[in-house]
Structure 1
């Protein structure tokens, strides 16, 4: 994945020990909410060079003036353009946001949404990545496509990190090798057991909350539908205690994945793309959006959804939006790492020269290059997304091996 700005974390900062002793309580570090939600986030400006989606990402000023990134009723609204007529061979406008800071081991991320993007061709994500992404790990907290009903949570890492067998979790494991697939494009996925964890079911239920624990003990993701959010989460203002959360939806304990070895400090990401290498894959699109008897081709997703649709009243994308109550970051004590950004204040996508990229940092130990579902060009260890064997080839291989249902959950 390419970054257009010159984003660098100093070697000294990255060599600060990122692992923290397991702590029962984590203190509030950042609260992204209300009128100030967008403070501390950067907007990608350009095409989707991550997953080949049929979108143009808008910078913050244009996204705001176009109504794609606004505050309404004290919620952050992030959406796909649903009012513009898009001619054939053109792309639809959308948004891609990243936090300015990277958060170290010993963090808990809480994401509360009243509504998430839904509909055919729609591919929303809330995820994290390291500063030398795709090296340094990736955590997919919220991700699925089209009309799927169950969220899927995934880790993408360099070889050597796996999910232990027999872990205690509510979700169903569909792959235990977190480096599986070209450039770790498949990773190790857990499909959520709750059918209102994605799409229209999530929205009808009034939304829900995800919490992600990221520390030396492992990586754990919890999900609660709106009427099941525990008071220890909903009332967490100054601190939070994951030991009160109960059984997680997905669990990757450190017994089979040395978190400090495979994960650098992580940046939060929110984005909405359309079609691309997952939602637009013919086998996936056929099962999740195809008409009876239809066999989708590589153009079906784009032709049937992205183009035309000029009226907001009947647009396919009326439901393709996030309504976010808050994103909170809690920490056991480690300060976030603040990158040095030169040039535009808008964060594009580039590789970062740092100790991890050159193999001297902890997370690079024993690792190989090109480790996640999508990789960009430039920088040490980065693998071009569009190279043979990228996202599309990996998805096709996964679908062939596991079947679409294993990836998407019950429909």
Structure 2
């Protein structure tokens, strides 16, 4: 967890971003929906100050479990959030136009707070900036507790809106990336309305997507989750047009549930008016939830994914959002992603997370 030189520890991805094999000129949704994301470097060794983690390794790891087997391990909410998440005041490993501030700065500027029993995690939406400067103030969080396996249920009242230049993510990552993996549960860029769920690993994890009930989303990127040394990942795009950003918020929020076992990783999305009753009653039973959005199976998941922390961030431009900028309608407003983000603070008034809770159950 030591901060290392990004120049030394993170390969530059200019050649990857320019590769035709990593980009399609056919944006599927409203002219602005990339069919898959380019290299995702959220998991550079530059992870911020070191601190002790409480490693959690549940002893049972089968998909077909009784309700009683899902025991609540941790509940993150407004009552305990600040003591259970570390604010990461680090350079952005994805090379974004962003300034991840420390906790004192974030709280003094109102970017990180609790309100109405919810947790607010936002960005500076007031300041006009120099496009050649460090970037827009934002907050990046990592849980102090790490997990191997689990049922992770995130209840969001609001997610960052679909805005040109933005790249928010809710994800999990191991300490020795890519060897202990990364699970991107919620992620997208610019004007997207469809969420993308992606795994990153060391080479050799090639999931199949038609086992154990299949999935409703579409596999849209690499076959090997370790492609490009783990940077490219293997992604699944949701088939629900309200699964991301502004459209998600228009439904009144919702829940993302991720089941991670030895046999695979599944992700479900539920709009707030369709959340299963057993989630609301804290007795979750994935066997009753229907087909997941993403269903990664057929890999040695225990060898590729372990000891993962929960992360929230909102960055701008950088490797993905900046890399595809010129192919989106956003470039018609300003040819430079950084320049747009610098000059349009008012565009990011809805770039914030409002979290009801994140609950982790053992499996």
Query: TM class by shorter-chain length?
Result: 0.7 to 0.9
Counterpart mapping for 1:294-309 below 5 A: 300-304=336-340, 306-309=341-344
Note if 1:20 corresponds to 2:60: yes
Q: Which residue number corresponds to residue 328 of structure 1?
A: 359
Contact in 2 for aligned 1:19/1:260 (Cα 8 Å): no
Correspondence 1:65 to 2:100: no
Q: Which residue in 1 is equivalent to 2:178? A: 134
Residue among 290, 298, 315 paired with 2:331: 290
* 2:302 corresponds to which of 242, 247, 260: 260
Alignment check: 8 A CA contact 2:209 2:215 kept: no
Residues 32 and 39 of structure 1 are in contact (CA less than 8 Å); yes or no, is this contact kept in structure 2?
Answer: no
Aligned to 1:232: 278
C-alpha separation in 2, matches of 1:246 and 1:205: 20
Partner of 1:213: 259
- Cα pair 1:162 1:177 within 8 Å, conserved: yes
Q: CA deviation at 1:232?
A: 1.3
After TM superposition, the structure 1 stretch with the greater mean CA deviation from structure 2, 258-267 or 85-94, is 85-94
Contact 2:205 2:226 in 1 (8 A): no
C-alpha deviation, 1:150, in angstroms: 0.1
* Mean Cα deviation higher: 107-116 or 158-167: 158-167
Match of 1:87 in 2: 130
CA-to-aligned-CA distance 1:91-138 (integer Å, 9 cap, x gap): 110011000011122x11011111111211110000001121232010
Contact 1:164 1:176 in 2 (8 A): no
CA contact (8 A) 1:178 1:188 kept: yes
Distance 1:21 1:286 in 2: 43
Unmatched 5+ stretches in structure 1: 333-411
* Distance of 1:88 and 1:17 partners within structure 2: 45
Deviation sequence 1:242-294 (CA, Å, 0-9, x none): 212211110012xx20111111121100000011111111x445325232xx7
Where structure 2 has 5 or more consecutive residues not aligned to the other structure, the ranges are 1-43
Name the residue aligned to 1:186.
232
Cα shift at 1:175: 3.0
Aligned to 1:126, the other structure's residue is in SS state strand
The alignment covers a number of residue pairs equal to 311
8 Å CA contact 1:102–1:266 kept in 2: the answer is yes
> Which residue in 2 is equivalent to 1:117?
160
Structure 1 residues 217, 70: closer, same or farther in 2, change over 3 A? same
Contact 1:137 1:262 survives alignment (8 Å)? yes
SS of the residue 2:216 aligns to:
coil
Mapped to 1, the partners of 2:220 and 2:142 lie a distance apart of 28
The aligned counterpart of 2:151 is 108
- Relative distance call for 1:85 and 1:165 in structure 2 (3 A) is closer
Q: 2:348 aligns to what?
A: 317
Report Cα offsets for 1:130-174 as digits up to 9, x if no partner.
121232010000000010110000111112211215341010111
Distance 2:59 2:199 in 1: 18
Tell me the residue number matched to 1:202.
Answer: 248
Instruction: Tell me, in whole angstroms, the C-alpha distance in 2 between the residues paired with 1:4 and 1:38.
Output: 17
Could you tell me the TM-score, scaled by structure 2's length?
A: 0.80
1:279 corresponds in structure 2 to 321
Query: Cα deviations across residues 336-376 of structure 1 (Å, max 9, x unaligned)?
Result: xxxxxxxxxxxxxxxxxxxxxxxxxxxxxxxxxxxxxxxxx
Residue 180 of structure 1, CA deviation: 4.8
Which SS does the other structure have where 2:189 is aligned? coil
Tell me if structure 1 keeps the 8 A contact 2:188–2:195. Answer: yes
Q: For the residues of structure 1 that align with 2:279 and 2:315, how far apart are their CA atoms?
A: 29
3-state SS of 2:113 partner: strand
Normalized against structure 1, the TM-score is what?
0.71
Instruction: Answer 1 or 2: higher relative contact order, Cα 8 Å, separation at least 6.
Output: 1
Task: Please give the alpha-carbon distance, in whole angstroms, between the structure 1 residues aligned to 2:47 and 2:215.
Answer: 36
Note if contact 1:19-1:215 (Cα within 8 Å) is conserved in structure 2: no
**Following the alignment from structure 1 to structure 2, what is the Cα–Cα distance between the partners of residues 181 and 308?**
36
